[in-house]
């Protein structure tokens, strides 16, 4: 028996071991006849492969939360700066279209592409100068200031107003007596005016007016005509009551809060009536003149050629 053990260990005579088995304690079996000396390396590789195949344990929600909050704040700030911003209505000057306390969303994207305010749109604009003098200043707490800064709620620090655009650069806007308001001679049908109000205010502080809006500016009025200190009542200030287009933050497109007041803010049809555009009203005449000039020149040339031909014929007959 001792010789058998020696032979088995030394590879000399003795009974052969079956592949894949080892009767000696502490000796691992080797499949495929591989060198037993490589067992440790193969074992390490197999363990590494098992570790690689095991899915990594996801990070806990609380570890991910700060990152999610940071991303949300950055996105909110970008949206407020370039796309849409919320504004709060502080007064009754736009009733009944807008009520005090409404939250409106303002489109800030289209002005980046050169779009300018159009007649009939409700726009938010920065104070062109002393319009808000004497108005109470809100005093928000720290949380409200932070949320206002990133755009998650209206900012209390921004000096902004909201009115309806009645005239744009080049328009003649006028109102006599109780109305109606006229733009380039066309009377406006204004169903959005506060019930019980007249389109014009019968007073000598600005309620009766006729102005030509300078280029690059707009003429704005509140829908609550007898409760709105708009362009009419700032004609004695620099700019004559007109608001520079560069001061316009954007167009109010929807009432977002409260939910019971949700509504869009479309442009009224009265501003699309034919002839209201000062440029378009002059366009037919200009186009007609431009079309007539070539015809007149062609006719004059034809008459000149005919006259010259007749003169040559007449001269030839006399000579003969």
Nearest to residue 231, comparing CAs of 241, 223, 243, 244? 241
Sheet holding 186-187, edge to edge: 186-187, 182-183, 172-175, 209-212
Task: Give CA–CA dist 45/28, Å, rounded.
Answer: 16
Please say whether the beta carbons of 190 and 268 come within 8 A: yes
Q: Per-residue DSSP letters for 141-210?
A: -HHHHHHHHHTSS--SS--EEEEEEEEETT-EEEE-TT---EETTEEP--TTSPTT--SS--STTTTSEE
Cβ neighbour number for residue 158 with a 10 Å cutoff = 13
- Choose the catalytic residue: 80, 163, 182, 217: 163
Cα dihedral 231, 233, 235, 238 in deg (nearest 10): -80
Residue linked to tokens 């700019």: 239
- Choose the catalytic residue: 88, 93, 155, 201: 93
Task: Give CA–CA dist 203/201, Å, rounded.
Answer: 6
Nearest to residue 93, comparing CAs of 253, 274, 249, 220? 220
C-alpha atoms less than 13 angstroms from C-alpha of 133 in its C-beta half-sphere: 6
Please say whether the beta carbons of 123 and 85 come within 8 A: no
Residue linked to tokens 């003429």: 219
93 in active site: yes
**What are the catalytic residues?**
93, 163
């Amino acid at each position: 028996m001792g010789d058998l053990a020696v032979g088995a260990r030394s590879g000399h005579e003795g009974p052969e071991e079956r592949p894949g088995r080892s009767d000696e304690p502490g000796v691992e079996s080797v499949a495929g006849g591989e060198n037993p000396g490589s067992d440790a390396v193969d074992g390490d590789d197999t363990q590494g492969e098992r570790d690689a195949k095991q899915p990594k344990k996801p990070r806990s929600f609380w570890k991910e939360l700060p990152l999610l909050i940071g991303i949300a704040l950055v996105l909110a700030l970008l949206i407020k700066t370039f796309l849409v911003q919320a504004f709060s209505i502080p007064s009754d000057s736009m009733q009944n279209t807008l009520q005090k306390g409404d939250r409106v969303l303002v489109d800030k994207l289209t002005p980046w592409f050169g779009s300018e305010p159009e007649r009939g749109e409700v726009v938010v604009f920065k104070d062109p100068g002393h319009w808000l003098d004497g108005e109470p200043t809100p005093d928000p707490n720290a949380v409200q200031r932070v949320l206002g800064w990133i755009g998650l709620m209206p900012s209390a620090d921004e000096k902004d107003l909201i009115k309806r655009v009645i005239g744009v650069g080049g328009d003649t806007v006028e109102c006599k007596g109780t109305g109606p308001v006229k733009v380039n001679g066309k009377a406006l049908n204004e169903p959005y005016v506060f019930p019980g109000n007249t389109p014009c205010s019968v007073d000598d502080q600005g309620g009766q007016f006729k102005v030509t809006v300078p280029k690059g500016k707009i003429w704005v009025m509140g829908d609550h005509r007898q409760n709105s200190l708009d362009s009419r009542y700032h004609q004695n200030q620099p700019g004559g009551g007109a608001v520079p287009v560069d001061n316009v933050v954007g167009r109010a497109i929807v009432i977002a809060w409260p939910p019971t007041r949700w509504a869009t803010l479309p442009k009224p049809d009265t501003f699309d009536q034919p002839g209201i555009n000062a440029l378009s009203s002059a366009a037919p005449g200009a186009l007609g003149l431009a079309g007539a000039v070539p015809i007149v020149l062609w006719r004059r040339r034809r008459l000149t050629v005919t006259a010259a031909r007749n003169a040559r014929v007449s001269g030839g007959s006399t000579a003969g």
